[in-house]
């Protein structure tokens, strides 16, 4: 499945430096080189940016139609 700009994606692994966990939700803000990598923004529920990261297709996956969002407290790294 193709990932495009403005798609909602799911983090496939932890990124401890930013306190991000597998399953966290981000938004693709830029696609590089036809999908070789992606600029993904992760925000709090209030819209504060936690991280803006360049990730590969192995780091993220598209959100599936029948998935439900979950809220957790951000633990700073």
Express each pLDDT in 18-49 by its tens digit.
Answer: 999 999 999 999 999 999 999 999 999 999 99
Instruction: Check residue 30 and give its pLDDT.
Output: 98
| Residue 64 DSSP symbol | P
Specify the pLDDT at position 49: 97
Report CA-CA distances (Å) from 46 to 2, 37, 42, 43, 64.
28, 27, 11, 8, 24
Predicted confidence (pLDDT) per residue in 5-18, tens digit: 999 999 999 999 99
Close Cβ partners of 9 (under 8 Å, ≥ 6 residues apart): 3, 25, 26, 27, 28, 38, 40, 60, 61, 62, 63
60-73 average pLDDT score: 93
Q: Could you tell me the pTM of the whole model?
A: 0.92
């Amino acid at each position: 499945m193709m990932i495009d700009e403005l798609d909602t994606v799911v983090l496939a692994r932890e990124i401890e430096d930013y306190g991000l966990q597998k399953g966290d939700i981000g938004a693709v803000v830029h696609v590089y080189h036809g999908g070789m990598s992606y600029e993904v923004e992760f925000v709090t529920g209030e819209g504060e940016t936690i991280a803006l990261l360049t990730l590969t297709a192995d780091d993220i996956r598209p959100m599936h139609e029948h998935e439900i969002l979950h809220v957790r407290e951000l633990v700073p790294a």
